[in-house]
């Protein structure tokens, strides 16, 4: 055995110090994706003519390409696109002062949005149209029915899938190092590279992910049990 | 001002496409070995022996919580770290694709065990009992009655696994794998990434049709393999 | 108070409603009768704008609208004056009984939360569900769900409540409790339009009756009159088919 466990123990707290970055990446990307994904899901559900066609093409494109490729595109094309946009809009801003983490938010949201859109649409489709009609019949507007009756039910149905998507996102956040964001994986890379102890530093990351994901799953489970009573009692 | 250049896209396209064979190599081996491992894990999880089923469960939990890239790094750096001496030299001469196959065998081993388990559960218990009642052995019943039905039921999941492998394997460019994406990345680096955008377009034109095509293929396959009466026309000669 | 005129509706080539007109006065209980496929349910759904009629107008109080071209605004305005009881209840699955009643009040009619709770309590008590406030739809029997649905429809104090075969989805032993609830409302003078197959109930509770067949109104009038002395031969045949077995019920 050639593994330096002492190094693992020493490195662990250092790597752990970067966990907040991983969490930030996850929370921000999940929030963005939830908002946009839900909008996409609703547009697809309602089969809005041109918009749903465009969204479906986008979804197919993202599902059809490796996430690494999406990261490449953002890495090489993002700053260029922003420069163009800033020039057009006459904004005086230095594109290169934008922190890499913002690009990572975008990169991680691209694919998470697609997964969420699919999960929520499936949730919406599982709801009986009578739920809509009864809301309208007591004088609520379509929007009121949507937010008080339809979306809460759609999200309940989609909850387990959303949990899987969240776990997937935590795992994907490990790719942010490709955009030079220093989160736990990125730091382990730097640390391991400095002393050529890659394996040991990645072992630290491995343990952290396992614990973080276990905790996430427990929280999701707990929320499902407490918040979403009506489903549980159905059984 | 960067613009997209069609002939350069074509160049990247044509020079990267042949490396599809590397992609297919690791997809093929990871799939076969991964499902074989997955079968064992599934059997372990359904075992009456508590220790074995807990072990199998633990394996699945660990692997599923590990990002592919971390697993890849652990395999790549770990294989040489945990072994010593002469064996090390042998390891260092291994082609990169072997590390990728090992990584994804471990990975698919976990996810396919779930696929196999749910396929097993989807075949009704009566099927096994019926097979045994007409005098088949457990093994015969499994091979001739359960397995074909399990296979049919897991076609969509097998399709998803293949697509997952094609895309996720592209990560291995970080350890120098020259699959489609790895090759394009290598070529782009030779050009100092000046034409990175053309490279990205070329890659999209390779990956998107393949994965979308596979998706279509598997959904057709699923319908084709439904158990129903097929009218076979007599051939007139 | 409610008047409907010349409603036409076709699904593809199938003409379901061929010019239906009727009117309802305050306090009326109107039973719409007819065999399945006669267009009764479609008529009711057109009046609530769940189906878009091809032609026709509706007038409730002072608000008038074209059933085909009404704006969203207009539709919303009319729906606030009516409510609807569905064949399969359609309670909000994510809300318990009292929340089901409150939601229409707070969101649909801008009633304050405190006031809505009070009204909801009273409505549920009225339908005999005082002990089921915090039960979710999945925990209630079909009859109880339908009574919550009636409480929900009643709570918003509509000018008229539409009932679309309110007992058809119920197990036979649960039909009674729902019919009883509706009779109670009738006695209180709530205006209702009821599509139903329960002939004895219609005869005893309704003030007016409408008999529909193949998308047209064959006969309409005072319920007692229509049941005892139908003018049209088709009505007579229909009634005799249904009422034979029920003669002893009164």
Q: Does domain A24-172 have CATH number 1.10.3720.10?
A: yes
C211: left (phi over 0), alpha (psi -120 to 50) or beta: beta
Note the ipTM here: 0.88
Per-residue pLDDT reduced to its tens digit, C102-145: 999 998 899 999 999 999 999 999 999 999 999 999 899 999 99
In this chain, the answer to whether the domains covering C1-35+48-79+207-250 and C80-189 adopt an identical fold is yes
Rounded to a whole number, what is the largest CA-CA distance in chain A?
A: 72
- C-alpha C30/C-alpha C2 separation (Å) is 11
Please state, in angstroms and as integers, the Cα–Cα distance from residue C10 to each residue in A109, C19, C51, C53, following that order.
46, 11, 10, 8
Per the CB < 8 A criterion, the answer to whether A79 and B226 are in contact is no
pLDDT tens readout for residues B26-60: 999 999 999 999 999 999 998 899 999 999 999 99
Give me the torsion for CA of B192, B198, B203, B205, rounded to 10°.
-170
- Give the chain A residue whose CA is nearest to the CA of B164: A66
- CA distance to A186, B15, B16, B212, per residue, from B201 (Å): 27, 14, 12, 16
What ranges do the domains of chain C cover? 1-35+48-79+207-250, 80-189
Q: Which chains touch C (3 or more CB pairs under 8 A)?
A: A
Q: Which residues contact A44 (CB under 8 A, 6 or more apart)?
A: A52, A55, A56, A117, A121
CA C122 to chain centre: 21
Chain B contact partners (≥3 CB pairs within 8 A): A
The structure tokens 């769900």 sit at C145
Among candidates B62, B69, B193 on the partner chain, residue whose Cβ is nearest the Cβ of A185: B69
Say if CB A77 and CB B179 are below 8 A apart. no
Domain residue ranges of chain A, discontinuous segments joined by +: 1-18+182-235, 24-172
B130 — pLDDT class (breaks 50, 70, 90):
confident
Domains in chain B: ranges and CATH: 21-179 (1.10.3720.10)
- pLDDT at B236 exceeding the cut of 60: no
- Report the C-alpha gap between A180 and A101 in whole angstroms: 8
Give the span between the Cα atoms of A128 and C240, in whole angstroms: 38
Tell me the fold of C80-189.
Rossmann fold (3.40.50)
Q: What percent of chain C has pLDDT over 70?
A: 97
| Secondary-structure class of domain C1-35+48-79+207-250 per CATH | alpha beta
> Is the pLDDT reported for residue A10 higher than 70?
yes
Chain A residues within an 8 Å CB radius of C137? 230
Where residue C2 falls among pLDDT bands split at 50, 70, 90? very high
User: Is there a contact between A209 and B65 if contact means CB atoms under 8 Å apart?
Assistant: yes
According to DSSP H, which parts of C26-71 are helical? Answer: 40-47
Q: Is the pLDDT of residue B176 over 50?
A: yes
Å from A201 to nearest chain B CA? 10
pLDDT at residue C215 is higher than 80: yes
Nearest to A174 among B70, B81, B196 (CB): B70
């Amino acid at each position: 055995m050639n593994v330096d466990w002492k190094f693992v123990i020493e490195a662990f707290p250092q790597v752990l110090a970067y966990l907040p970055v991983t969490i930030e990446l996850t929370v921000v990307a999940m929030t963005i994706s939830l908002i946009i994904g839900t909008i996409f899901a609703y547009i697809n559900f309602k089969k809005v003519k041109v918009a749903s066609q465009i969204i479906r093409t986008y979804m197919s494109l993202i599902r059809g390409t490796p996430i690494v490729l999406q990261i490449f595109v953002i890495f090489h094309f993002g700053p260029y696109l922003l420069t163009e946009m800033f020039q057009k809009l006459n904004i005086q801003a230095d594109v290169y002062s934008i922190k890499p983490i913002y690009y990572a938010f975008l990169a991680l949201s691209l694919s998470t949005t697609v997964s969420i859109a699919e999960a929520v649409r499936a949730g919406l489709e599982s709801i009986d149209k009578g739920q809509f009609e009864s809301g309208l019949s007591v004088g609520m507007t379509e929007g009121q029915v949507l937010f008080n009756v339809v979306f809460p039910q759609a999200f309940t149905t989609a909850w387990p899938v959303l949990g899987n998507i969240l776990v997937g996102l935590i795992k994907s956040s490990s790719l942010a190092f490709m955009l030079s964001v220093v989160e736990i994986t990125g730091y382990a890379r730097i640390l391991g590279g400095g002393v050529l102890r890659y394996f040991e530093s990645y072992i630290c990351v491995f343990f952290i992910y396992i614990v973080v994901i276990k905790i996430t799953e427990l929280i999701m489970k707990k929320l499902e049990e407490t918040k979403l009573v009506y489903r549980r009692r159905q059984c | 001002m960067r613009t997209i250049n069609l002939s350069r896209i074509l160049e990247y396209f044509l020079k990267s496409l042949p490396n599809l064979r590397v992609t297919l190599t690791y997809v093929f081996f990871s799939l076969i070995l991964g499902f074989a491992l997955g079968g064992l894990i599934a059997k372990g999880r359904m075992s009456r022996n508590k220790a074995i089923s807990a072990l199998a469960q633990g394996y699945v939990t660990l692997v599923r919580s590990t990002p592919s890239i971390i697993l890849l790094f652990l395999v790549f750096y770990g294989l040489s770290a945990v072994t010593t001496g002469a064996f090390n030299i042998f390891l260092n001469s291994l082609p990169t694709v072997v590390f990728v196959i090992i990584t994804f065998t471990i990975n698919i081993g976990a996810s396919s065990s779930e696929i196999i388990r749910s396929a097993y559960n989807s075949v009704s218990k009566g099927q096994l009992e019926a097979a045994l009642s007409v005098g088949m052995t457990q093994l015969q019943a499994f091979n001739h009655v359960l397995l074909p039905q399990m296979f049919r039921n897991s076609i969509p999941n097998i399709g998803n696994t293949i697509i997952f492998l094609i895309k996720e394997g592209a990560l291995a460019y970080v350890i120098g794998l020259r699959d489609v994406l790895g090759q394009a990345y290598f070529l782009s680096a030779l050009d100092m990434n000046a034409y990175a955008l053309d490279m990205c377009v070329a890659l999209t034109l390779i990956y998107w049709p393949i994965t979308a095509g596979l998706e279509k293929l598997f959904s057709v396959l699923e319908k084709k393999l439904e158990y129903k009466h097929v009218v076979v026309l007599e051939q007139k000669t | 108070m409610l008047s409907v005129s010349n409603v036409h509706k076709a699904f593809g080539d199938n003409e379901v409603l061929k010019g239906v007109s009727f009117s309802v006065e305050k306090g009326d209980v109107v039973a719409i009768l007819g065999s399945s496929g006669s267009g009764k349910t479609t008529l009711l759904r057109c009046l609530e704008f769940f189906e878009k009629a091809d032609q026709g107008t509706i007038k409730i109080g002072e608000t008038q609208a074209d059933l085909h071209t009404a704006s969203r605004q207009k539709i919303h305005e009319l729906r606030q004056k009516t409510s609807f009881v569905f064949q399969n209840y359609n309670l909000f699955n994510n809300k318990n009984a009292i929340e089901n009643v409150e939601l229409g009040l707070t969101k649909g009619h801008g009633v304050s939360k405190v006031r809505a709770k009070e009204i909801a309590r009273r409505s549920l008590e009225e339908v005999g569900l005082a002990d089921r406030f915090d039960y979710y739809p999945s925990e209630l029997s079909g009859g109880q769900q339908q009574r919550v649905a009636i409480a929900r429809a009643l709570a918003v104090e509509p000018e008229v409540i539409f009932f679309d075969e309110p007992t058809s989805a119920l197990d036979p032993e649960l039909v009674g409790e729902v019919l009883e609830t509706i009779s109670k409302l009738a006695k209180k003078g709530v205006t209702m339009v009821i599509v139903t197959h329960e002939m004895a109930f219609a005869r005893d509770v309704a003030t007016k009756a409408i008999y529909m067949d193949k998308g047209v109104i064959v006969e309409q009038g005072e319920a007692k009159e229509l049941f005892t002395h139908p003018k049209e031969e088709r009505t007579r045949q229909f009634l005799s088919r249904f009422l034979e077995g029920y003669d002893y019920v009164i």
